[in-house]
Copies of this chain bind each other. A is one copy, B any other.
């Protein structure tokens, strides 16, 4: 059996929802009875993953980052479509294992896709389209933050950076490295939050950069109290890096001031009417030279803005 045939057979065992039609038909058929949210991400070897990285983790991250976009829209996943460029047999096999893990963990149905063989010696790229059913119609948008609301964030910022640095230092402690290798999309949290939030988005490129984006989209100013931001213990003396490095996939959202978050989260600031700048950190505009987060130029940019 060729590598391609083996991969497709493995996909057949994973694509067991009705929508996939056993991968025996020309296309997938989703039953929908309301709005659907659609997002797409590409990952490129050498940019989004390193040639030596475990393909199982690459598969996990490809799916998890797309599911995080759905989580920010308050969606449960209803269909994933994979664009897969074949690697060598061992790589494909590890990819299948990671894909199985992440699909099972988040109850995300693979419904179809396309494979191509690796074109000559160039770096490989992988694409994923994720389709979700939102808990609220219209789904939450980053543009819906309103002056007077409070700013909240789930979880601990900087956990991905701490994991990345551990890996770089040769420390493979799975608990420490998992936030970087296998980020967890906050699907149930996004669904619980959707009915009550103002603005919502996932923090993929760094808390401060993404907070600035929410402010710009909503025509407000977000005032962040940096001391309130929960940062990973490994970054106790580098808190600003934890707020800017990105890859954490936490949810950033706003709530009316009398509300408390229905999920574990921390209030880290306030939404103000738009002032001279969209973002205030401890009451002041960030230094113009300050890097607020991971910028895509030269790497990747979503047409729908989030990565």
Q: Are A116 and B111 touching (Cβ within 8 A)?
A: no
Map CB proximity to B onto A1-18 as digits: 1 under 8 Å, 0 otherwise.
010110010010001000
Whether the Cβ atoms of B116 and A42 lie closer than 8 Å is yes
- Say whether A114 contacts B127, CB under 8 Å: yes
Query: Is A258's beta carbon under 8 Å from chain B?
Result: no
Any B CB within 8 A of the CB of A108? no
Q: A34 in the interface, Cβ–Cβ < 8 Å?
A: yes
A272 located at the interface, meaning its Cβ lies under 8 Å from any Cβ of chain B in the complex:
no
A33 interface residue, CB < 8 Å from B?
yes
Partner of A112, one of B23, B143, B304: B304
Contact across chains for A69 and B116 when beta carbons are under 8 A apart: no
**Docked pose: A38 CA to B113 CA in angstroms:** 9
Copies in the assembly, this chain: 2
Instruction: Indicate if the CB atoms of B125 and A23 lie closer than 8 Å.
Output: no
B-contact 0/1 string along A269-291, CB 8 Å cutoff: 00000000000000000000000
Q: Do residues A119 and B123 form an inter-chain contact, with CB atoms below 8 A? A: yes
- Interface size class on chain A is 35 or more
Q: Could you say which residues of chain B place their CB within 8 Å of the CB of A139?
A: 27, 29
**Interchain CA distance A246-B121 in the complex, whole Å:** 28
**Cβ-defined contact, B21 with A114, below 8 A:** no
Known: A27-B37, A29-B139, A83-B83. A300 touches B44 (CB 8 A): no
Residues 291-303 of chain A, each 1 if its beta carbon lies under 8 Å from chain B, else 0:
0000011111111
Contacting A26 at CB < 8 Å: which of B28, B122, B306? B306
Residue of B nearest to A25 (CB): B141
Known A-B contacts A26-B202, A113-B40; A141 and B300 likewise in contact (beta carbons under 8 Å): no
B27 touches A35 (CB 8 A): no
Sampled A-B contacts (12; CB under 8 Å): A24-B305, A25-B143, A26-B73, A26-B306, A27-B39, A27-B306, A29-B73, A30-B36, A32-B33, A38-B81, A40-B112, A44-B116
Interface on A for B, CB 8 Å cutoff?
2, 4-5, 8, 11, 15, 19-21, 23-42, 44-47, 69-70, 72-73, 79, 81-85, 111-117, 119-123, 125, 127, 129, 131, 134, 138-139, 141-143, 201-202, 217, 296-307
